Amino acid sequence: MTDEIVLTLPDEQDFHDVAHLVVGGLAVRLNLTFDNLEDVQVALEGLLAGTGGDVTVAIRLGGDDGLVLSVGPFDCERLRAELEDDAHLGLGRVLATVTDGVEVEERGDGCWVELRKRVERIPR
Burial class from Cβ neighbours inside 10 Å (0-12, 13-18, 19+) for residue 4 reads: exposed
Q: What pLDDT, in 10s, does the model give residues 44-70? A: 999 998 667 889 999 988 666 688 999
**H or E, element range at 20:** helix 13-30
The CATH number that domain 4-118 falls under is 3.30.565.10
Q: What length is written for the chain?
A: 124
* Distance from C-alpha of 19 to C-alpha of 1, rounded to nearest angstrom: 23
pTM of this structure: 0.86
Taking alpha carbons only, the member of 41, 52, 44 closest to residue 110 is 52
Taking alpha carbons only, the member of 18, 14, 85 closest to residue 5 is 18
What are the b/e assignments for 70-95, b being 16+ CB within 10 Å?
A: bbbbbeeeebeebbeeeeeeebbebb
Domain ranges for the chain, please list them. Answer: 4-118
* Distance from C-alpha of 40 to C-alpha of 19, rounded to nearest angstrom: 11
pLDDT per residue, tens digit, the chain (124 aa), is 467 899 999 988 888 899 999 988 888 887 888 998 999 999 999 999 866 788 999 998 866 668 899 999 999 999 998 888 766 778 899 999 999 999 999 999 899 999 998 887 777 6
Find the radius of gyration of the CA atoms of the chain.
14
Q: In 3-state terms, what secondary structure has residue 8? A: strand
